[in-house]
Amino acid sequence: MKRGTVVWVDLSDAHPPERGKVRPAVIVSGDVHNATLDTVVVVPTSSLAPEILPLRVRVGIFAGKESFAVVPGLRQVSKRRLRGTLGLVDTTQLASLDASLRTYLA
């Protein structure tokens, strides 16, 4: 698992306002941790616009839709929840997501 990979993840046990169902998410945990642990940290995405910095960050087009990382949805998940890979977030958009995560968590 590489940081910045967009994966399908099953979040079906979520309760509102958490994001649920199987949806794309960006892996934001580090590569060393991803290789070692049975979990990854993800930020789920939504196709609902607009970008609202720092809470909703555009990360590209995945599964045929413009995708926005929903930063408050940050979540650690078991790798057993991962259902496939959609691609990689480009470095510029990953840097924007990182900045939003720092702002949100500060």
pLDDT at residue 2, as a whole number: 96
The partner residues of 79 in beta bridges, in order of sequence, read none
The partner residues of 75 in beta bridges, in order of sequence, read 42
Per DSSP bridges, beta strands 82-88 and 5-10 are: antiparallel
Domain positions in the chain: 5-100
Judged against a pLDDT cut of 70, whether residue 15 lies above it is answered with: no
Instruction: List pLDDT tens digits, range 44-64.
Output: 999 987 889 899 999 999 989
Give the CATH architecture of domain 5-100. Roll (2.30)
Band (pLDDT 50/70/90 cuts) for residue 67 is very high
The structure's pTM equals 0.92
Q: Please check whether residue 2 is in contact with residue 30, taking contact to mean a CB–CB distance below 8 angstroms.
A: no
Report percent pLDDT > 90 for the chain: 82
The mean predicted confidence, pLDDT, of the chain is 93
